[in-house]
Structure 1
Amino acid sequence: MTAGLLAGIAGLALLDSFNPATIGLVTLILLLPGGRSHAGRGRRGTGQVVLALGIVAGAALTVFALGAAIYAAAQGAAVAGGLLWVRRAAFGLAALALLAVGLRRLRPRHRAAVALPSWFSPWTAVPVGAVITAVDLPNAFPYFVAIERLVAAGTGWPVALLVLAGYAVVYCLPCLVLLVVGLLRGDRVRQRLDRLYQRFGAARDLPASRTTATVYTLGALAVAGIAVSV
């Protein structure tokens, strides 16, 4: 394990940390009525911290556990081939997701408001964070690149596990920063988050857009091309 390799993996983890799934969940906890009601029935502070830390813990556990599993699988006879197909699957799933979004923009539709489910609580925060992160991982290209670099460098198990644990911590840093700033700055942060929510999470009628559909479709074709060529 060289300093250059460690710095490169840290950079990949930082890039990977700006993901919409876990950050969006923490935003809902700070902002939405569902988040406030479950965070101690309107009491901010401790309840929100418990919920958000549950999400973060679930995300970190998923990143570490799946990373360890992929690393273990890559230690087999078909190391290079196995990682190659992992990358192809990741890019392929991303291409399908882009194509699905593009096709949906070909016709008008009503987008329901994004909200925390009624059963969301401190008891379900960890598994929700784990599941949401697992669903989002196929789009986490830096994650697979980092594991590939660990395998290519011949990193031993103890060091690899430490690096994967560190990757999981860095992956969750934006969520932790958002939580701390949201609790310290209070209404000022929530006002800014509310503007983002009104743009991306509030209920609204979306008109059909061939231009948007074309952009997503071209993006899907480009990502599919990368999946075939890697």
Structure 2
Amino acid sequence: MTWQLAGSIAGLAALDSLNPATLVAITLILLGSRRRPLAEALGFVFGAFATVFLLGLALYVGAEAAASSISGALTWLRRGAFGLAAVVLFVSSVRSLRARRRSAVGLPAWFTPLTAAGLGVVMTGADLPNAFPYFIAIERLLAAGVATPTAVVVLALYALVYCLPCLVLLALGLSRGERVMGALRRLHDRFGTSAVIPPSRWRAAGFFLAGVAVTAIAVSV
């Protein structure tokens, strides 16, 4: 495990942590919790952490077994990671060409710390197909021949970095009071309410060009 490898994986984890879905969930808990916002937010973060770590560990162990028995498995894993990223970008490009309705989001009355943890599991698990930095990080661990105990620690730290923006947002929301909460309310009013998102050719073109670039990387690796 070199410092260069650690730095690249830390960068991938930081990129992966900028997940709008989890940040929106923490915002909703801070704004809409009727009982225990801290416990519910921590429950959500725990669910997200456990999902990222355990699924990542399962992928790593499975890929390690495949790499030891299938010739060229690492090459195909690398291509699969970049190929998945390209597919996500192309799908986003197509979606940007048509108007779509965004539903309003809010907390149900039965929301508790336990159900918050379940929500963290569901939301994070549903978003993992888009988490191509994680697949690239796992591929780099395998390619470097990192020992399994070290890889387990790295995956746990990756999951922690993934959750850091949520923890920072939670800390700011609870410590800074109305100033931060007011900013969160404005963000929720803009992005969390029911609305029709108009099509955008510029946004679609940006996603498409990014998809082409990532496809070229997938073919060349």
Conserved 8 A contact 2:52-2:124: yes
TM-score normalised by L of structure 1: 0.80
| Cα separation, 2, equivalents of 1:4 and 1:84 | 21
Alignment deviations for residues 103-161 of structure 1 (CA, whole Å, 9 cap, x no partner): 34444443222323455332211121122112222332332232222222222222221
| Cα separation, 2, equivalents of 1:118 and 1:93 | 37
Structure 2 residue 163 is the aligned partner of structure 1 residue 175 = no
TM-score normalised by L of structure 2: 0.82
**Paired residue type of 2:167:** L
Residues 212 and 154 of structure 1, relative CA distance in 2, 3 Å threshold:
closer
Structure 2 residue 46 is the aligned partner of structure 1 residue 49 = no
2:51 to 62, 83, 97: 62
| Cα separation, 1, equivalents of 2:192 and 2:5 | 38
**Paired residue type of 1:129:** G
Residues 182 and 228 of structure 1, relative CA distance in 2, 3 Å threshold:
same
Q: Which residue of 2 aligns with 1:28?
A: 28
Residue 65 of structure 2: SS of its match in structure 1? coil
User: Displacement, 1:56?
Assistant: 0.8
Residue 172 of structure 1: SS of its match in structure 2? helix
Residue 154 of structure 1: SS of its match in structure 2? coil
1:202 to 193, 197, 208: 193
Residues 129 and 81 of structure 1, relative CA distance in 2, 3 Å threshold:
farther
Structure 1 unmatched runs, 5+: 41-46
Structure 2 unmatched runs, 5+: none
Of 79-88 and 60-69, more deviation after overlay is shown by 79-88
How many residues align? The count is 219
Q: Which residue of 2 aligns with 1:73?
A: 62
User: Displacement, 1:210?
Assistant: 3.6
Residues 115 and 5 of structure 1, relative CA distance in 2, 3 Å threshold:
same
Residue 75 of structure 1: SS of its match in structure 2? helix
RMSD, matched Cα = 2.6
| Cα separation, 2, equivalents of 1:72 and 1:3 | 23
